[in-house]
Structure formats: structure tokens, C-alpha cells
């Protein structure tokens, strides 16, 4: 896992590693230097200077020998070495003739790749040269560790951000997502000339369920309610648990108000089946208010005010139904 996380496709491009390979190329006066990472099957180039080379199979990689041994590996003349003389980049372009690589360690004793230099002429390295190359490898390992730490920090930050706007009981967004996520979705739809449907729903008689059976039982009912909601809405719709048994659902662009009403109707029907919890069957039907943006408003605050009116009207008409907002409700409210 640690090696895969460092693959070039998984990480941001590292200017520091590029600078290190450029410096190694100048110090050793070679046409090519690179930092490679070896996984179970491939050699990947994390940074390079001089020539641009892609990934190659592990068995064709000289850096694999560095990973196996954990020590510097030098081949003075590739064409004179039976193990490497037939490799495609020795026989063909760029016709490498010499190789030297030093270990790149992710942790002490854990070699994940090599800092290598290659030349198109045979050459040997002195003990001082090998020590210098090893120092380059040590610095490359340090840079990769910093890169890995940044990846982990970003991952943890994303998890924390997601947790902050997620309701743990239902897996829906919570109120904290309204400003950070929902508002952006509404504005994006408005800018694209699309419609957004907003459904505001709560469960009829939920307080009685809690009072009779207790809050753990009520939580189980809410978790089942969330499951039923998910069976009706699409994956790109945004469900929000506002608190208690109150939910808001922001429906992405569909075929007008009729489509939003169809979703509301399916939700009402889905809640008519009793909730079977711990051997008890309880009724937990729902009332829903429906508004459409931009017809009924262009901001979340305006939509919330009007969808609340529609929900109140649904309850006033006997519950277990949905009501779409219309201008007549404004007159009733006043």
C-alpha cells in the first residue's frame, strides 16, 4: 500500500525530486538520472532529468537489483553483462552502456526504489562516487517520506471534513452541509439554467414512537427511513437530515415539477409500509412539502421558508401526503 501511494499517478508532481535528479545529473556528468519506485510488477519513474522514460516491467529494471539487495548496484558496461546486454534500452535507443543506482528507503531497511544514473558510455564509479550517489538516494527517500506524509494528511483532512457534514445515524448530510455543499449545488444549477427540486419531509407520529419505545428504537426507525429514502432518490440527489425525523432532499435536474412530484409520491408510498423493528411493527408515515427553484425562489433561505409552508399544508390536509407550494399558501400564511 505504501508503495502504491507513491506511484506517479497517485501523487502530485514533485519539483523537489526533479531538482534532485537534475543535480545528480550535473554532479555525475551523465545524460540521465532518475528516482524510480518498484512495485510487484513495474518500475515507475517518480522523477527524472535528461531523458523522459516511461514505466517498464520489473524484470527489465536494473533498479530492481537495488531493491532486492538494499545496497548500491553498479554495472560498468551493460553490453558486457550477460544479464542486461539484451535489454531493449541497451540494444536500442537510448543505448545505455552503464548504470549505477543507490537505495531509496521509505523506512530504515525498507527499500522501495532507487536513485539511478545512466550513461551512454562505459564508466566505473569510485568509492567516493558511490557514497555521493548513496547520499542522493537518502535525500530522495526523505522527500518521498514527506510526500507520503502530505498524502496521509490530505486524506485525514478529507475524512474529517466529510465527518463534519455527515449525520452518523443515516449517512446523510447534516445541517452543516447546507452552507458548504447544498448552496453550491443550488447556485451551480441556477447558473446552468437547470431546475432544483426541494423536498422537506418529516415522519407522522415519530414523537409517539420515541415516547413509547425509547430513543434507540427511534434511531433504528430513522435508519430504516433513510434506507427507504435512498431506494427512491438518485445517487446524485442530496439528502440531508436536518434533525430528529426531519429530512430535506435536494433533487438534481429532472423533467420539471411533475418529476419532483413523482419522487414525493414514491416517498409517501414507501413510508406507508410498517417499520419492523425488534419484533415490533410501527407506523411511520410521512408528510412532504415540495418547492422548485428557480420558480419558487433562488436562495436556500427563500426555498426553506416556502417548503415549510407546503409541509405545514400537507399536515393540515390530514398528513400522509405531499403538497407543492403555490402562491395561495402565501396568502394563508399572512
Are 103 and 64 in contact by the 8 Å Cβ rule? The answer is: no
Q: Which of 245, 273, 296, 308 is catalytic?
A: 245
DSSP string, 200-219: EEEETTHHHHHHHH-HHHHH
Highest mean pLDDT (candidates 10-19, 23-32, 54-63): 23-32
Query: 81 by DSSP, 3-state: which?
Result: coil
Boundaries of every domain in the chain: 2-162, 176-333
Record the cell numbers describing residue 170, joined without a space. Answer: 443515516
| Whole-number pLDDT of residue 261 | 93
Q: Which CATH architecture has domain 2-162?
A: 2-Layer Sandwich (3.30)
Does 2 have pLDDT greater than 70? no
Mean pLDDT throughout 187-213? Answer: 89
- Does CATH number 2.102.10.10 belong to domain 176-333? no
Record the cell numbers describing residue 297, joined without a space. Answer: 425562489
Residues 6+ apart with CB under 8 A from 275: 221, 224, 225, 281, 282, 283, 284
DSSP string, 111-165: EEEEEEEEESS-----HHHHHHHHHHHHHHHHHHHHHHHHHHHHHHHHHHHHHHT
Query: 167 by DSSP, 3-state: which?
Result: coil
Q: How far is CA 109 from CA 41, 69, 113, 150, 159, in A?
A: 21, 10, 12, 22, 31
| Whole-number pLDDT of residue 145 | 87
Mean pLDDT throughout 114-142? Answer: 94
| Whole-number pLDDT of residue 5 | 47
| Whole-number pLDDT of residue 7 | 47
CA distance 171 to 39: 36
Band (pLDDT 50/70/90 cuts) for residue 158 is low
Could you identify the residue written with the cell 526523505? Answer: 142
| Whole-number pLDDT of residue 328 | 72
Band (pLDDT 50/70/90 cuts) for residue 4 is very low
Among this protein's residues, is 81 annotated catalytic?
no
Q: What DSSP character marks residue 252?
A: P
Does 165 have pLDDT greater than 90? no
| Whole-number pLDDT of residue 333 | 55
| Whole-number pLDDT of residue 191 | 81
Q: How far is CA 220 from CA 92, 144, 290, in A?
A: 67, 46, 26
Q: Quote the mean pLDDT of the chain.
A: 87
Amino acid at each position: 500500500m505504501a508503495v502504491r501511494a507513491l506511484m506517479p499517478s497517485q501523487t502530485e508532481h514533485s519539483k523537489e525530486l526533479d531538482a534532485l535528479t537534475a543535480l545528480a545529473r550535473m554532479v555525475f556528468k551523465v545524460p540521465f538520472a532518475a528516482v524510480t519506485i518498484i512495485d510487484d510488477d513495474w518500475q515507475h519513474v517518480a522523477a527524472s532529468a535528461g531523458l523522459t522514460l516511461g514505466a517498464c516491467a520489473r524484470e527489465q529494471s536494473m533498479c530492481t537489483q537495488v531493491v532486492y539487495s538494499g545496497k548500491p548496484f553498479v554495472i560498468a558496461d551493460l553490453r558486457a553483462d550477460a544479464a542486461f546486454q539484451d535489454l531493449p534500452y541497451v540494444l536500442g535507443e537510448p543505448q545505455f552502456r552503464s548504470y549505477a543506482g543507490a537505495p531509496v528507503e521509505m523506512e530504515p531497511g525498507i527499500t522501495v526504489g532507487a536513485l539511478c544514473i545512466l550513461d551512454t558510455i562505459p564508466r566505473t564509479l569510485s568509492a567516493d562516487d558511490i557514497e555521493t550517489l548513496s547520499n542522493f538516494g537518502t535525500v530522495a527517500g526523505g522527500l518521498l517520506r514527506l510526500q507520503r506524509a502530505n498524502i496521509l494528511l490530505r486524506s485525514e483532512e478529507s475524512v474529517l471534513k466529510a465527518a463534519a457534514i455527515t449525520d452518523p445515524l443515516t449517512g446523510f448530510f447534516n445541517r452543516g452541509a447546507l452552507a458548504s455543499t447544498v448552496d453550491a449545488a443550488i447556485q451551480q444549477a441556477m447558473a446552468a439554467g437547470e431546475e432544483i427540486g426541494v423536498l422537506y419531509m418529516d415522519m407522522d407520529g415519530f414523537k409517539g414512537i420515541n415516547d413509547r419505545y425509547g430513543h434507540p428504537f427511534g434511531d433504528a426507525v430513522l435508519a430504516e427511513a433513510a434506507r427507504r429514502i435512498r431506494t427512491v432518490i438518485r445517487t446524485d440527489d442530496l439528502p440531508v437530515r436536518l434533525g430528529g425525523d426531519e429530512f430535506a432532499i435536494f433533487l438534481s435536474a429532472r423533467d420539471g415539477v411533475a418529476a419532483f412530484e413523482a419522487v414525493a409520491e414514491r416517498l409517501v408510498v414507501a413510508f406507508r409500509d410498517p417499520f419492523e423493528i425488534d419484533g415490533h411493527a410501527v407506523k411511520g408515515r410521512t408528510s412532504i412539502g415540495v418547492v422548485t427553484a428557480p420558480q419558487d425562489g433562488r436562495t436556500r433561505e427563500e426555498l426553506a421558508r416556502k417548503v415549510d409552508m407546503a409541509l405545514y399544508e400537507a399536515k393540515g390536509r390530514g398528513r400522509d401526503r405531499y403538497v407543492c407550494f403555490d402562491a395561495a399558501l402565501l396568502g394563508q400564511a399572512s
